[in-house]
Amino acid sequence: MANQFGGEWTEIKIRVFKKYLHAYMQIMKGKPWKLIYFDGFAGSGDIQTKKETEEVIEGTARQVLSFDEPRKFDFYYFVEKDLDNAQLLQRIINKEFPTLTDKSVVAGGDDCNQKLQDMAGFLKSPKGKNYKAIAFIDPYGMQVKWDALDSLKGLGVDLWILVPTGIGINRLLKKKEKSGQVWFETLGNFFGLDPKEIEDKFYYEDPQLDLFGERKFKKIENAVEAAAILYKERLRTIFKHVSDPLPLRNSTNAVLFHFMAASNVPVAVKIANDIIKKEK
Ligand SMILES: C[S@@+](CC[C@H](N)C(=O)[O-])C[C@H]1O[C@@H](n2cnc3c(N)ncnc32)[C@H](O)[C@@H]1O
């Protein structure tokens, strides 16, 4: 069975990423680098976009495997925690892309965070010096840990990441008006910040005391946008350049995620910004 998620925003995300891939491969054609495609939340290869119609589209993994012009990747690394999904994806590779079986790994049951750190270790090794990577990080929610991303610092990795500004961060912030709760740890791990800094970014003190004379804290109005700006700012501590965030909305126009790119190469982010601008 195909993975179930998405709607139009899923298609926008894949379209934007593929446009980038095309431009990136154009630049990489003829270059001596070996190229790795790292997919941290690979899925099953297919996506069911609508429950009612059971419409299925090709997932990113399948589309990247089919991608061969202007250049192919030399190695594909797919991480998928769910073993059933991983098995489906492995079956697609064996059946439909037999020439890539030896050039790909499906790390079924593994965690994206661990594998990002493993890739960083490889890229820092003598053998890894000949490689560049694209990391596509496409979670449902708050699974990505800051420390895992931080391990990519200074490496030849271009990142595309789906940040759950509406679906994850804002929901956690909504839970309570005050910090000191367990979800501030979650947000801290996500942004790589101290929980107190999270409180300062997303809450302000209400000048009016409550009934019993206690201070009250309120969430800022535009927390979803603020989360995207803060994440971009945080990514700039790892990568030299970060694109504008592209908001991805559901059918009622609510922002679910922001999609953004990061790289140490200025032209990579210029390309990403051009694509994002056209899509906005
Ligand atoms: C949004 S879906 C991925 C969709 C996929 N990128 C595509 O375009 O077809 C997220 C996937 O991540 C998997 N997953 C969840 N937590 C994970 C983790 N910590 N590490 C790796 N995979 C995870 C889920 O099982 C799910 O299949």
Q: Amino acid identity of 4? A: Q
Centre a 10 Å sphere on the Cβ of residue 213 and count the other Cβ atoms it contains: 6
Query: Cα separation of 133 and 59, whole Å?
Result: 20
Ligand 1 center to residue 138 CA distance, Å?
7
Report which protein residue has its CA nearest ligand 1's atom 25: 82
Rounded to whole angstroms, the maximal C-alpha distance in the chain is 71
Q: What is the pLDDT of residue 62?
A: 97
Among residues 122, 112, 117, 182, the alpha carbon closest in space to that of 147 is found at: 117
DSSP symbol at 30:
T
Q: Which atom of ligand 1 is nearest to the CA of 5?
A: 1
Query: Cα separation of 225 and 230, whole Å?
Result: 9
From 11, 21, 41, 115, mutation site for ligand 1 pocket: most ligand atoms within 8 A of C-beta: 41
**Residue the block writes with tokens 């003829």:** 30
Identify whether the C-beta of residue 131 lies closer than 8 Å to the C-beta of residue 162: no
**Residue the block writes with tokens 């050039």:** 103
Higher pLDDT pick, 1 / 82: 82
Residue 221's contacts (CB-CB under 8 Å, 6 or more residues apart) are: none
Ligand 1 center to residue 86 CA distance, Å?
10
Provide the pLDDT confidence category of residue 178 given band limits of 50, 70 and 90.
Answer: low
Provide the pLDDT confidence category of residue 72 given band limits of 50, 70 and 90.
Answer: very high
| Domain ranges across the chain | 3-166+221-279
Q: Amino acid identity of 31? A: K
Higher pLDDT pick, 209 / 11: 11
Q: What residues flank ligand 1, with Cβ below 6 Å?
A: 3, 5, 40-43, 47, 59-61, 79-82, 85, 111-112, 138-140, 143
Q: What would the pLDDT profile of 213-251 be if each residue is shown by its tens digit?
A: 887 788 899 999 999 999 999 999 999 999 999 999 998
Q: Which atom of ligand 1 is nearest to the CA of 143?
A: 19
Angle between helices 195-202 and 182-191 (to 10 degrees): 90
Provide the pLDDT confidence category of residue 176 given band limits of 50, 70 and 90.
Answer: low
Find the mean pLDDT for residues 249-263.
96
Report which protein residue has its CA nearest ligand 1's atom 16: 81
CATH number of 3-166+221-279: 3.40.50.150
Half-sphere exposure of residue 21: CA atoms within 13 angstroms, side-chain side: 26
